[in-house]
Amino acid sequence: MPTYRLFATTPKAMETLLTEELKSLGINNIKATMAGVAFEGDLETAYRACLWSRTANRILLVLSSFEVKSQEDLYNGVQKINWFEHINPEDSFAVSFSAKNSPAINNTHFGALKVKDAVVDQMRAKFQQRPSINTEQPDIRINVYLQGETAQLSLDLSGESLHRRGYRDVNIKAPMKENLAAAMLLRCGWPKIAAQQGTLIDPMCGSGTLLLEAAMIAADYAPGLLRDYFGFIGWKQHDAGCWKKLRTEALQRKAAGLNKLPVIVGFDQNRHTVNAALNHIANAGLQQKIHVERRDIDDAKPAESWKPGLLICNPPYGERLGDEEETADLYKKFGATLRAHFVGWQAAMIISNPELGFRLGIRSQKPITLYNGALECRLLRFNIEESQFFTPKARNQEERISQAEEASAAGHEPQETGVAAPMFANRLQKNLKKMAKWAQQNHISCYRVYDADLPEYAAAIDIYQGEHTWVNIQEYEPPKSVDQHKADQRLAGLLAEVPKVLGVGRDNVFLKIRKKQRSTDQYEKHNDQGNFHIIEEGGVKLLVNFEDYLDTGLFLDHRPIRLQIQQQAKGKRVLNLFAYTGSATAHAAVGGAIATTTVDMSNTYINWAKNNMALNSSVGEHEFIQADCLEWLASSAELADRQLYDLIFLDPPTFSNSKRMDDVFDIQKDHVKLISNAAALLTPDGILYFSTNFRRFKMDAGALPDLIVEDISASTVPEDFIRNPKIHYCWRIKHDPQR
């Protein structure tokens, strides 16, 4: 058999695991790179990787690498391959194209079309017949990765991502992919624990992904055995005999492995997810091998006959359980269960907010970074032993804020930062002089005057002017490396200086502590004072609240886009999605919109939006809808007689797995579908404004070929946020009249 250049792709932070996995399959000449591993081997090697890899996404067989300085270079490079060696003219194919830092081609859709044309033109010239396109299950899938001026042309032997094992119901969207679950188990040493007949328990098993991956690892069950489609099945050079031999070997290993499977148990309090887990287990042929039952976390106890082993789970994070206090209580309860019933066990969990892990009251080993989609997470691992138990001191945000305010009110100067506090005051005074003049000239009453200009004073300070002047301070939570006492002193110093420099009373200064963002943190309720104040922006009256929520109800960085909507709204129908408090809707109404539709999932914010509208005189019809925006948008886009809008504002969260939503939402993964559905509600000449504050967001304009996508981020970041140009990204999107 000939030797090929091969490349296995994997999610970020899993490259080392994939390297170890390929070595265990007897593969040599391995080189790990970002999000993948390059290696060499014959077809049997490639097939074995497809069948046995638990952590890879795709296995690519490299056909060539060539230089691309122009569109013609890409076309010519693809044409140099004799495609008749790989596909018949009556067969089908698909193209996956991606580019990074390419001066020649940055539109992935255009690049894919060029590759397709090169293949089709060659086959048509030789046979007067061309292969068809099949994006679902083509005979071959061509992959092109263009980095800078170098293109790598490959056949995708996987066909579809290898994380799709074949046991999952396609209608059920899980909170994690199968290869992430496998990575967690491998990082926790599950193969060794299973070999010693240690028990595995997932006390929050959901649809059973961790249970199934654990069973497949323990039973020597090849993860690709259930799949009936791979990218090499329809390839002309496919070696069916070799593939049959590997599958036969894998079936024999599985049969032997199932006889020595340890106890694997899952609990979940939700009967729907328990039923889903049981269906998935049946699909994998593992009935009687994995036990699942409906049980609350309080009752997640091992039977006396179960040998201690590994307790592992993907506990709720984000908004699935509601507010932060309720989530923290779950972790406290979970920690109590671990300490009471699992001494002598190992435990692990993946979590997006490591602070919640502290609530368990058990010291963890060094966290391991993994990614759940685009969300950066930490895998926490624990030895459940009494020597590792501790009592976490309850010290919430309110306590810290109260202590800082008391210190500043008493006039206590920070000891270690006595020099820095005047430096902060000087910087704030300098900023105020500049920004106040700018705000007055532009008739702006609410603006940011300071944003962590000095690292020691990491806070954002906003001025709001209405019947009074208020100051809203958001301290960026200090990292663990900063001494807590020093951080408290600096916060007290900041609170002491702000009223003096800005000339406001202490009662009109409000402080909150902003932690690392989780999905919709800004919407979480922190208090219940109900004190609303009226401010004005561009002639529009709006309600703000400084005490009850992390944010005030008005995102100041969106001021330019709101004013733009107001200027463009006259005589238009306007749709505001993920509307929050409906400030953009109020701007549209004041601007003369003939009709507005405001959609948000929260009844609280829908009512807030209605109250904002009531403050302003407007004509036209104004509709407010409490609904899951994703579901509402998808169903509206499918209607034959759907309402069309001239102006749409779309500002979704970065990530959400709210208990009120059916699916997990990830802005990077889901934005193409989201924008497509929104564009389906856009009039032929309409404008869609799409915005996100996800700093690592990459717009896939190539996947939206019927739309003109224009990046207008620079023009929508206002002067008071210019020091932080990545505060948000914004695009103007229209229908392409040429399509």
Residue 401 pLDDT: 54
Asked if the model's pLDDT at residue 530 lies above 80, the reply is no
Token pair belonging to 739: 């399509």
- Fold (CATH) for 397-516: Transcription Regulator spoIIAA (3.30.750)
Residue 617 pLDDT: 86
Considering the chain, what is the average pLDDT of its residues?
90
- Fold (CATH) for 4-156: VC0802-like (3.30.2130)
In the chain, residues under CATH classification 3.40.50.150 are: 178-227+238-388, 533-735
Residue 399 pLDDT: 47
* H-run or E-run covering 661: none
pLDDT digits (tens, 9 = 90+) for 52-72: 999 999 999 999 999 999 999
Question: Half-sphere exposure of residue 264, counting CA atoms within 13 Å on the CB side?
Answer: 30
Given the DSSP bridges, would you call strands 573-577 and 595-600 parallel, antiparallel or unpaired? Answer: parallel
User: CA angle, 591 as apex, 590 and 595 as ends, to 5°?
Assistant: 80
pLDDT digits (tens, 9 = 90+) for 24-53: 999 988 999 988 999 999 999 999 999 999
Question: Mean of the pLDDT values across residues 395-420?
Answer: 48
Asked if the model's pLDDT at residue 579 lies above 90, the reply is yes
3-state secondary structure of 293: strand
In the chain, residues under CATH classification 3.30.750.80 are: 397-516
CA atoms of 675 and 544, how far apart (whole Å): 29
Residue 329 pLDDT: 81
What CA–CA distances, in Å, run from 290 to 192, 270, 510? 19, 18, 53
Confidence class for position 612, pLDDT limits 50, 70, 90: very high
If 0-12 CB within 10 Å is exposed, 13-18 middle and 19+ buried, where does residue 61 land? buried
Asked if the model's pLDDT at residue 14 lies above 70, the reply is yes
Asked if the model's pLDDT at residue 388 lies above 50, the reply is yes
Confidence class for position 404, pLDDT limits 50, 70, 90: low
Tokens 């002067």, located at residue: 719
Token pair belonging to 103: 């001066």
Token pair belonging to 429: 């005074």
pLDDT digits (tens, 9 = 90+) for 595-606: 999 999 999 999
pLDDT digits (tens, 9 = 90+) for 709-729: 999 999 999 999 998 888 999
Among the listed residues 482, 415, 484, the one whose alpha carbon sits nearest the alpha carbon of residue 455 = 482
Of 173-182, 264-273, 307-316, 602-611, the poorest mean pLDDT is in 173-182
Tokens 């005057």, located at residue: 449
Asked if the model's pLDDT at residue 170 lies above 90, the reply is no
Among the listed residues 236, 240, 238, the one whose alpha carbon sits nearest the alpha carbon of residue 84 = 236
Residue 456 pLDDT: 84
Among the listed residues 299, 341, 584, 554, the one whose alpha carbon sits nearest the alpha carbon of residue 446 = 554
Q: How many CB atoms lie within 10 A of CB 659?
A: 11
If 0-12 CB within 10 Å is exposed, 13-18 middle and 19+ buried, where does residue 399 land? exposed
Given the DSSP bridges, would you call strands 682-692 and 645-650 parallel, antiparallel or unpaired? Answer: parallel
Residue 64 pLDDT: 98
Asked if the model's pLDDT at residue 648 lies above 90, the reply is yes
Confidence class for position 564, pLDDT limits 50, 70, 90: very high
Residues 650, 656, 662, 667: what is their CA dihedral angle, to the nearest 10 degrees?
50
Confidence class for position 663, pLDDT limits 50, 70, 90: low
Question: Mean of the pLDDT values across residues 666-679?
Answer: 94
Asked if the model's pLDDT at residue 358 lies above 60, the reply is yes
If 0-12 CB within 10 Å is exposed, 13-18 middle and 19+ buried, where does residue 226 land? middle
Residue 414 pLDDT: 41
Q: What radius of gyration, in Å, describes the C-alpha atoms of the chain?
A: 29
More confident residue, 624 or 333: 624
Residue 654 pLDDT: 86
Token pair belonging to 7: 């490349």
User: CA angle, 67 as apex, 61 and 70 as ends, to 5°?
Assistant: 120
User: CA angle, 50 as apex, 49 and 53 as ends, to 5°?
Assistant: 60
CA atoms of 116 and 214, how far apart (whole Å): 41
Q: What superfamily would CATH give domain 533-735?
A: Vaccinia Virus protein VP39 (3.40.50.150)
CA atoms of 400 and 402, how far apart (whole Å): 5
Tokens 């579809």, located at residue: 160
More confident residue, 519 or 542: 542
CA atoms of 586 and 491, how far apart (whole Å): 36
More confident residue, 582 or 364: 582
Residue 320 pLDDT: 40
Tokens 């790989």, located at residue: 86
Confidence class for position 392, pLDDT limits 50, 70, 90: low
CA atoms of 540 and 587, how far apart (whole Å): 6
pLDDT digits (tens, 9 = 90+) for 188-244: 999 999 999 999 999 999 999 999 999 999 999 999 999 999 999 999 999 999 999
What CA–CA distances, in Å, run from 62 to 122, 155, 490, 728? 20, 7, 57, 38
Question: Mean of the pLDDT values across residues 321-348?
Answer: 83
Q: Are 81 and 121 in contact (CB under 8 A)?
A: no
Confidence class for position 480, pLDDT limits 50, 70, 90: low
Q: Where are the beta strands (DSSP E) in 548-706?
A: 573-577, 595-600, 621-626, 645-650, 655-656, 665-666, 682-692
312: which strand partners? 348
Given the DSSP bridges, would you call strands 200-202 and 645-650 parallel, antiparallel or unpaired? Answer: unpaired
Residue 13 pLDDT: 92
In the chain, residues under CATH classification 3.30.2130.30 are: 4-156
Residue 528 pLDDT: 54
Q: Are 731 and 690 in contact (CB under 8 A)?
A: yes
Token pair belonging to 467: 């019947």
Residue 519 pLDDT: 40
Question: Mean of the pLDDT values across residues 588-612?
Answer: 96
Residue 405 pLDDT: 54
Of 20-29, 391-400, 558-567, 583-592, the poorest mean pLDDT is in 391-400
Among the listed residues 125, 131, 62, 126, the one whose alpha carbon sits nearest the alpha carbon of residue 94 = 131
Residues 6+ apart with CB under 8 A from 292: 205, 208, 211, 265, 266, 267, 268, 274, 277, 278, 281
CA atoms of 524 and 527, how far apart (whole Å): 9
709: which strand partners? 733
Asked if the model's pLDDT at residue 479 lies above 90, the reply is no
Asked if the model's pLDDT at residue 413 lies above 50, the reply is no
Tell me the backbone φ, ψ of residue 315, rounded to 5 degrees.
Answer: -70, 160
Residue 420 pLDDT: 55
Q: Are 166 and 227 in contact (CB under 8 A)?
A: yes
Amino acid letter for position 550: L
Percent of the chain with pLDDT over 90: 75
Asked if the model's pLDDT at residue 400 lies above 70, the reply is no
CATH 3.30.2420.10 assigned to 178-227+238-388: no
Question: Mean of the pLDDT values across residues 509-538?
Answer: 69
Asked if the model's pLDDT at residue 75 lies above 90, the reply is yes
pLDDT digits (tens, 9 = 90+) for 693-712: 998 999 999 999 999 999 99
Asked if the model's pLDDT at residue 522 lies above 60, the reply is no
More confident residue, 435 or 531: 435
